[in-house]
Amino acid sequence: MNDLLPLFPLQLVVFPGEVLPLHIFESRYKQLILECEQEGTHFGIPAYINGKVMEFGTEIRLKSIEKQYPDGEMDIITEGIGVFRINEFFLRSPGKLYAAAKVVRLQLDQKGQALHYDEIAELVEELFGLLRISKSPPTQKVQWSTYDIGHHIGLPLEKEYELLQIPYEVDRQKYIIAHLKQLIPAVREMENLKIKAQMNGHFKNILPPEF
């Protein structure tokens, strides 16, 4: 089924379940948010990458308007609730200032494998340790999904967009594991280079080879 969904393209990827604060200042999006508040409707944030509105995006629910300014600007809290694919894009929704699209909402599988979650947790812990990040890695003691860590594992925007398109949690797990296994050796090597650079000019106690 194709539904017409108002659009708010941004140069970011929003994952389902993500809470996203936004400051609204453009007239078209002021109109959009006020309609969402009054009518209880949703809108979509498709990723805007390399000057192009991408095919996939995240459906967004307005949770609250935290502050309204005299000029109509707003601070709002939103939440990602699902993924859609654009079938037909309209630069202007009929009679509105903002863009819209006919979209298909995708069914997302959230059943991952416990062993994959454990492996991801170990890899994230190693990455955070190398980067000296104090944030706690995910654990099996609380329920979490790959979307919960999508912004915290060094994925560039294009890779976050690829992750958004993957419909099955097991495949998202494998995608993240592959990424971390590629990233961690590079980070470790950078740390080694930093250590070597810091040692420059210091007296070194290096054992010569025996002949």
Bridging pattern class, strands 3-6 and 19-24:
unpaired
- Of residues 142 and 117, the one with the higher pLDDT is 117
pLDDT for 35 equals: 96
State the pLDDT confidence band at 187, using cuts at 50, 70 and 90.
Answer: very high
Reply yes or no on whether the pLDDT at 1 is more than 50: no
State the pLDDT confidence band at 209, using cuts at 50, 70 and 90.
Answer: low
pLDDT for 202 equals: 52
For the chain, give the percent of residues with pLDDT over 90.
80
pLDDT for 134 equals: 84
Q: Which of 1-5, 120-124, 206-210 has the lowest mean pLDDT?
A: 206-210
Its pTM stands at 0.86
Q: Mean pLDDT score of the chain, rounded to an integer?
A: 90
pLDDT tens string 27-69? 999 999 999 999 999 999 999 999 999 999 999 999 999 999 9
Reply yes or no on whether the pLDDT at 203 is more than 90: no
Amino acid identity at 149: I
For the four alpha carbons of 149, 151, 156 and 161, in that order, the dihedral sign comes to positive
pLDDT for 78 equals: 97
pLDDT for 31 equals: 97
pLDDT tens string 130-161? 988 888 777 765 678 999 999 999 999 999 99
pLDDT for 211 equals: 46
The pLDDT of 105-121, averaged and rounded, is 93
The pLDDT of 18-28, averaged and rounded, is 96
**Number of Cβ atoms within 10 Å of the Cβ of 93:** 19
Distance CA 183, CA 188 (A): 9
Distance CA 30, CA 56 (A): 23
Name the burial class of residue 115, with classes exposed (0-12), middle (13-18) and buried (19+) by CB atoms within 10 angstroms of its CB.
Answer: exposed
The token duo for 172 is 């998202």
Reply yes or no on whether the pLDDT at 84 is more than 50: yes
